[in-house]
A and B are shown apart, each in its own frame.
Chain A
Amino acid sequence: MTPLLSRLRTPPLALRNVAHGGRRSLAAISGVAFSLTMVLLQLGFLEAVKITAANNFEQVDFDIVLVSPRYEQFYGAGFFPLDRLTQARDVAAVVRAAPMYATFNLWRCPAYPIGQSESNRDVEPSPGPIERWLWGAHLPRPLQRRELFVMGIDLDKNLFHEPIRGRIEAAKDRLRLKHRVLLNEQSHPDFGWQIRDQVRDWELGNQAVTLVGGFPMLRGFAADSTVICSDLNFLSLCRFPPGQISFGFLKVRDGLVAAARDELKARLPADVEPFTRAEILARETDHWVNQTSTGQLFAFGVLVAMVVATVVVYQVLSNDVREHLPEYATLKAMGYSLSRLGRVVVEQSLIYMVISYVFAVILAIVVYRATEELAGIPMRLTAQNLLITLFLAIVVGFLSGFLSLSKLRGAQPTELF
């Protein structure tokens, strides 16, 4: 028998069922696609929490970080004596030790239009996310003071990765002058980066500062903006205990990270704790995902979305089998075995899932963009989340197809009439 003939004898029924279904298939696919989008969206929210948690440390070039035992997360780092950094340099494997000072401080967010004074607008509700997105930086708003995260560094020990590193290097000489700062280009629009050319009177912690440039850094759930300045400017602008620092970032000779961490732990007093890069990232993620209610709520969101998707998919597929029941009954009468029919059903459900999955991913890209624009948090479609969703789709598709088989068993050719 020629291959063509054999293919004619076993037509791809599953595919034809889908293709022939027209509107009905479309409805089924849209139902499944939207549920899968919901799963992707919830996974994206949770991912955003993880991304923002890890992002700060990823901008910094280090192997080991020293933090206070009270360290909670990047934005609540606490402080420890600067001397510990000097002591850390005594460990042979340490090639560089750079301090970072970090705390929250108040930023004078300029009014828009410029020059509008603080008024009775206090009690008016603030504009919603859609309004904010439409207006962007040109949303009319009163003058206000809001907190942002200030990082002070030793300009001679630039500890950032590109691109922030380059921005600091470029502005280095100006940053040495009194009260000169860099502002995050990705700040919340209220902080005024977009209208920087029209604003003169910047203030940080009630002192006049001059903006000498910007740097790109994601903003997360904890801070709506960030500022980088020199250590001396930091100490004069922010209230910080004297002789203390927030982070000590160490570079260590290759391959000696674990050994250096252990040696630091043994040598340094208990008022400071060393963590390797991997350890601190794990700790940071754990804090945001497991210890805060934000992370927990998003995790529940993922769970609920997955259950809903499962129910919807089962519903769609079992409906489909029921609709085709007379046809299956006919096939059965023609001598198709139950297992062969079963294969058709399962194949068909898998085809549905794959098509829906593709639509869901396209939809998710759109919804991710919208969320990023509206909420200002980083939404990334990671390979892991794509795979999780695909896996869920296929398992659920397979199971639902399988569960619908019981219906086939009872399919009687006589039901046709």
Chain B
Amino acid sequence: MLPRLIIPLAWRNLTENKRRLLASVAGTAFAVTLMFMENGFRHAMLDSMVNVIERLDGQIVIISRTLYSLADPYHFPYRRMVQAREFPEVTGISPVYVETQSGYWRDVRDGSLDRICVVGIRPEDDVLNIDEVKEQRAALDRPDTAMADALSRSASFGEFAAGQVSELSGHTIKLVATFKLGINSQSNGNLIMSDRNLFRVFPDLAGRTEGDSAVTVGLLRVRPGTDLIALRARLQSALPADVRVLTLEEFMAKERDFWDKVAPVGTVFYIGVVMGFIVGCVICYQVLFSDISDRIGEFATLKAMGYSNLRLLRVVVMQGIYLALLGYLAGLAVSLLLFRWVHEATGLPLDLSRNNPLAILGLSVIMCVLSGAYAARKLLSVDPAQLFA
């Protein structure tokens, strides 16, 4: 009985004046958009840093002890992977080579050179969960071929297309297909090559023997049902100290962690989210406060009719919640458009669904309830006599 009484009152307070409703919802919606954008930027930055790792098909990785971010790849000798293969739980090993510093792609339009990130895989290993790569893997096996990321920055490299012939660090390379991966703040484009083609372009990675070849990420596939944490610990103690063994999840968390907390970019966007929340609180407070001021007479009448302070507070808080929900919906719609726009402009993976939309909803509601409760302080002292003041 009680809720049915309260809900319509809060709802009607909010929707009484359509133009005012529009202004209030717009204010809240923009605060929500602000949080979405800052959070989205932060997530996009972090997601883009792990886009390769995320697509690796395996359970455990071996990396160099020195590697702290895949953007500055450090390598370890392939023989460590062979050693790991001795474990009965390990069913397959696939080396992944990453070169971010010395790969330069020649733009076919004007001949200018730009740095590009090169990922090397064995074409016989199905290690990358990218549909186009899975389908076209065989084509990589031919000499001097590569696949290019269609989402690379076109201002730097032009539009990649299958059949294009250009030069990677002084070697003629033919593009056999394109795929979609996405760029990050450290590189403006991606190429995928077979390990043999990669060694031809970057002989340093090949080493003198196969056991010396410089692997960046050593991917291990293990028998289903294996205790990953226990196996990781056993591998770590069995292998020399020049490598580090992590589960794929730990590796991904470590990479995100570096960009989120150690590098300055993560912190900056974090500050942006907090500021967005504060601005949102101030806007909602403004909306609800002026609404209460306008209706002080009505609230005073209700109080005279016997409404308790708590009940009046609930009306205001409910009003805040409605405002939050309406503002959230509108903000979500605006953010969707903006996300698509920024994604097209920067090539960064801005994806709303990975952006904890529910967490933002929670924040919006907290924001409105907090500012509603704060604005409602005025009601505690409201006096029916004020009606005639």
Contacts and interface: CB of A to CB of B under 8 A. Distances in A.
Given A297-B346, A308-B33, A371-B271, A31 B104 contact: no
Interface in B254-308: 254, 257-258, 261-265, 267-272, 275-276, 278-279, 282-283, 285-287, 289-290, 293-294
A296 B346 contact: yes
Contacts of B153: 291
A113 interface: no
B194 interface: no
B31 A308 contact: yes
A294 B254 contact: no
B363 to A, nearest CB: 16
Contacts of B41: 297, 300-301
B268 A375 contact: yes
B68 interface: yes
Contacts of A76: 101, 115
B222 interface: no
A23 B296 CA distance: 14
Interface string A81-125: 000000000000000000000001010000000000010001101
User: Which residue, of A31, A38, A221, has the highest number of chain B Cβ atoms within 10 A?
Assistant: A31
Interface stretch (B22-30, B121-129, B133-141, B173-181): B22-30
Contact of B37 (A123, A296, A301): A301
B333 interface: no
Given A122-B246, A315-B27, A145 B37 contact: no
B212 interface: no
Contacts of B342: 297, 300
A367 B270 CA distance: 13
Contacts of A69: 113
A305 B338 CA distance: 13
Given A122-B244, A126-B261, A293-B347, A38 B275 contact: yes
B155 interface: yes
Nearest to A72: B115
A315 B287 contact: yes
B286 A147 contact: no
B26 A311 contact: yes
A307 B153 CA distance: 27
Nearest to A296: B346
B345 interface: yes
A123 B289 contact: no
Contacts of B205: none
Nearest to A292: B185
B45 interface: yes
B32 to A, nearest CB: 10
Contact of B34 (A38, A106, A323): A38
A28 B283 CA distance: 9
B213 interface: no
A216 interface: no
Interface residues of A, number: 65
A291 B66 contact: no
A163 interface: no
Given A308-B31, A367-B275, A129 B346 contact: no
Nearest to B64: A145
A31 B283 contact: yes
B290 A126 contact: no
Interface in A299-355: 300-301, 304-305, 307-308, 311-312, 314-316, 318-319, 322-323
A41 B272 contact: yes
B254 A293 contact: no
Contact of A27 (B185, B286, B348): B286
A374 B275 contact: no
B364 interface: no
A19 to B, nearest CB: 17
Contact of B257 (A27, A125, A297, A311): A125
B292 to A, nearest CB: 11
A128 interface: yes
Contact of B30 (A122, A147, A307, A374): A307
A187 interface: no
A308 B30 contact: yes
Contacts of B289: 23-24, 27
B258 A41 contact: no
A323 B257 contact: no
A273 B303 CA distance: 80
A210 interface: no
A34 B279 contact: yes
A127 interface: yes
Given A24-B293, A371-B271, A221 B31 contact: no
Interface in B1-58: 20, 23-24, 26-27, 30-31, 33-34, 37-38, 41, 44-45, 48
Contacts of A224: 262-263
Given A128-B261, A300-B342, A315-B283, A106 B66 contact: yes
Given A31-B286, A311-B30, 11 more contacts: A27-B289, A31-B285, A72-B114, A126-B261, A293-B185, A296-B345, A300-B37, A300-B345, A304-B37, A374-B267, A376-B264
Interface of A: 23-24, 27-28, 30-31, 34-35, 37-38, 41-42, 45, 48, 69-70, 72, 76, 104, 106, 118, 122-123, 125-129, 132, 144-147, 188, 190, 221, 224, 291-294, 296-297, 300-301, 304-305, 307-308, 311-312, 314-316, 318-319, 322-323, 367, 370-371, 374-377
12 contacts: A24-B293, A31-B286, A48-B268, A70-B113, A72-B114, A122-B244, A125-B253, A129-B261, A132-B261, A145-B68, A308-B30, A376-B264
